[in-house]
């Protein structure tokens, strides 16, 4: 893996961890989180979301061409 790709993956995982913590705190304290939907910002209280795994969590070393 190229070095710049490695740092991009590390940064993405850090953002994902931070988003999970924010959603947990919002759920705990009944806060609303701004979410971009349908071309505008909507405020929602996050529900329970099952853990999702994307290509970053898998060992994906191929190109992104489709």
Going by C-alpha positions, the residue among 45, 47, 48 that lies closest to residue 33 is 45
11-52 tens-digit pLDDT? 999 999 999 999 899 889 988 888 888 899 998 887 765 555
Contacts 24+ apart (CB under 8 A), 45-53: 49/23
Distance in angstroms (rounded) separating the CA atoms of residues 29 and 61: 40
Q: Return the pLDDT at 21.
A: 93
Q: Return the pLDDT at 52.
A: 56
Q: Enter the pTM of the model.
A: 0.56
Q: Return the pLDDT at 1.
A: 58
Tell me the average pLDDT across 52-57: 56
Answer whether 5's CB lies under 8 Å from 55's CB.
no
Q: Return the pLDDT at 63.
A: 47
Query: What residue spans define the domains of the chain?
Result: 3-44
Task: Provide φ and ψ at 24, rounded to 5°.
Answer: -65, -45
């Amino acid at each position: 893996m190229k070095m710049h790709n490695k740092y991009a993956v590390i940064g993405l995982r850090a953002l994902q961890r931070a988003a999970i913590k924010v959603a947990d705190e919002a759920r705990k304290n009944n806060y609303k989180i701004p979410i971009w939907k349908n071309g505008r910002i909507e405020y929602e209280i996050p529900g329970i979301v099952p853990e999702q795994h994307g290509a970053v969590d898998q060992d994906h070393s191929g190109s992104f061409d489709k």
